[in-house]
Structure 1
């Protein structure tokens, strides 16, 4: 049960990193992963983020496929784990990367408070929903109808 949530959590974090990079870094061009240097350094940091995200995505899917092949995949736990991973990435990015390390902001030249509130609230919502789904999956998985545990 736990491994299903963990494998899908890796996938969820990688997908959220991809969404962040594709939408905010590439399509909108609002920021790079590291904006405290030259544009070239910003592009390099985006490339490194993309490489890490792809490795996590591939690794997570291999782990997920192995769980499925062995019959150990718990789909509801995996859904919860995917949402937990996505929310964890989003909150880490919004709180640690944006505020603690100041690697970048969501957008420049505007009041960032509304952007921060939406980004971090969405991340927190993903975490809460993922936690609820994962907790329910754990309860169902431990019930007498599901003796594996």
Structure 2
């Protein structure tokens, strides 16, 4: 890719970081706080005492702080790229990288926190036998977002390449 083309290319890492952050915010806000299905360490420290609630709340906050950092870094990368000159990016690249990041979040968080470490499960309010079903659904949702995101990124790159070829013909 020529230097000028590379400077104008959509920053995939920014979209992926935004997706990671948004996936974490959704998990923390909707599943931890609104639905209260689980907390960060609720399988290890069930919410059956004030000290356990305090510990889980602290770790939920650290989790939110990490997802916030992903969004801030993504915003910084996007700003540095967009601030350079007028750009023509495909909307598919933004949507695709957001889905890719969110899907990656679900897969990594689901595999590590739910399955490997057993820190918590997606829905701990249902019977224990059903936890795995919710966990598998979370992983499947992540996989669908990841694949859909990657397909959109591919389409967006093709769209950008086609647009750049069109602009070169106009010059």
Report the TM-score, using the length of structure 2 for normalisation.
0.76
Q: 1:105 to 1:146 in 2, by over 3 A?
A: farther
Where structure 1 has 5 or more consecutive residues not aligned to the other structure, the ranges are none
CA-to-aligned-CA distance 1:6-63 (integer Å, 9 cap, x gap) = 1011001101100100011101111111221322221111010111111211221122
Contact 1:106/1:115 (<8 A) preserved: yes
1:103 is matched with 119
- The structure with more radius of gyration: 2
SS in 2 for 1:30: coil
Partner of 2:143: 124
Aligned-residue CA RMSD (Å):
2.0
After TM superposition, give the deviation of residue 100 of structure 1 in Å: 0.8
Name the SS for the 1:84 alignment partner.
helix
Moved over 4 A (4+): none
d(CA) in 1 for partners of 2:99, 2:40? 22
The reply on whether 1:134 has 2:153 as its aligned counterpart is yes
Shift of 1:138: 2.2
Indicate if the aligned counterparts of 1:5 and 1:79 stay in contact, CA closer than 8 A: no
The answer to whether the aligner puts 1:77 opposite 2:96 as a matched pair is no
Counterpart Cα distance in 1 of 2:153 and 2:83? 21
Aligned residues: 147
